[in-house]
């Protein structure tokens, strides 16, 4: 048995944080919202985490890195925990998340257009007049409300 396997079979929460690179408080939070199962406890009441906890936490962290919401991760985990999930079920969830990501990308592109167009009108001088402040005061980030660089 390797040292890594021995370590992964009897971890304290701080060890779990170190092994996975996840913040200790984040692990506590994930436990409180049900993303992480309650670990078994020693006779003295100390939590002990094993390889399944490491795998689960890594799954959650990768899903968060891909932008899945907590609710989406809970949904994915419920499929996995059920043990009878199908690729079609997981694919539906993945496609929905991809649609959300693509919508966010469109929003970010619109924001980029607004900022680029507005900043192009900034003079960079010591005058108090500033097109960026003007756009912010208008309360709209719609690209059509921003002057084009040719105006």
- 39-71 pLDDT, tens digit per residue, is 999 899 889 999 999 999 999 999 999 999 999
State yes or no: pLDDT of 5 exceeds 50: no
Angle between helices 51-65 and 24-32 (to 10 degrees): 90
Q: Which residue has the higher pLDDT, 6 or 81?
A: 81
Is there a contact between 24 and 62 (Cβ–Cβ < 8 Å)? no
Residues 72 and 112 in one domain: no
Task: Tokens 């406890």: give the residue.
Answer: 41
pLDDT of residue 148: 44
For residue 68, give the CATH number of its domain: 1.10.1660.10
Q: Which band of pLDDT confidence, cut at 50, 70 and 90, is reported for residue 75? A: very high
Is there a contact between 12 and 49 (Cβ–Cβ < 8 Å)? yes
> For residue 134, which of 122, 126, 143, 144 has the smallest C-alpha distance?
122
Q: Which band of pLDDT confidence, cut at 50, 70 and 90, is reported for residue 151? A: very low
pLDDT of residue 8: 54
Question: What total number of domains does the chain contain?
Answer: 2
Q: For residues 107 and 142, what is the distance between their CA atoms, to the nearest angstrom?
A: 10
Residues 90 and 76 in one domain: no
Domain limits for position 130: 86-151
User: In the numeric block, which tokens belong to residue 139?
Assistant: 């309360």
Residues 12 and 68 in one domain: yes
State yes or no: pLDDT of 145 exceeds 70: no
Q: Which band of pLDDT confidence, cut at 50, 70 and 90, is reported for residue 127? A: confident
With 0-12 / 13-18 / 19 or more C-beta atoms within 10 angstroms meaning exposed / middle / buried, residue 51 is: middle
Enumerate the β-bridge partners of residue 30. none
Residues 97 and 62 in one domain: no
Among 47, 67, 83, identify where a domain stops.
83
How far is it between the farthest Cα atoms of the chain? 75
Residues 18 and 33 in one domain: yes
Taking CA atoms, 123 is separated from 111, 119, 128, 129, 130, in Å, by 20, 8, 10, 9, 8
Is there a contact between 103 and 113 (Cβ–Cβ < 8 Å)? no
- Model pTM? 0.74
């Amino acid at each position: 048995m390797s040292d890594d396997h021995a370590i992964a079979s009897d971890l304290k929460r701080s060890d779990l944080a170190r092994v996975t690179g996840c913040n200790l408080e984040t692990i506590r939070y994930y436990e409180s919202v049900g993303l992480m199962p309650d670990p078994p406890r020693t006779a003295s009441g100390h939590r002990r985490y094993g390889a399944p906890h490491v795998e689960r936490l890594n799954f959650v962290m990768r899903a968060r890195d891909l932008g899945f919401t907590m609710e989406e991760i809970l949904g994915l985990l419920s499929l996995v925990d059920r043990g009878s999930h199908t690729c079609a079920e997981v694919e539906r969830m993945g496609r929905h998340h991809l649609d959300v990501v693509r919508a966010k990308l469109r929003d970010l592109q619109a924001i980029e257009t607004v900022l680029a167009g507005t900043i192009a009108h900034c003079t960079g001088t010591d005058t108090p007049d500033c097109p960026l402040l003007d756009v912010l005061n208008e309360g709209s980030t719609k690209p059509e409300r921003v002057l084009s660089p040719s105006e």
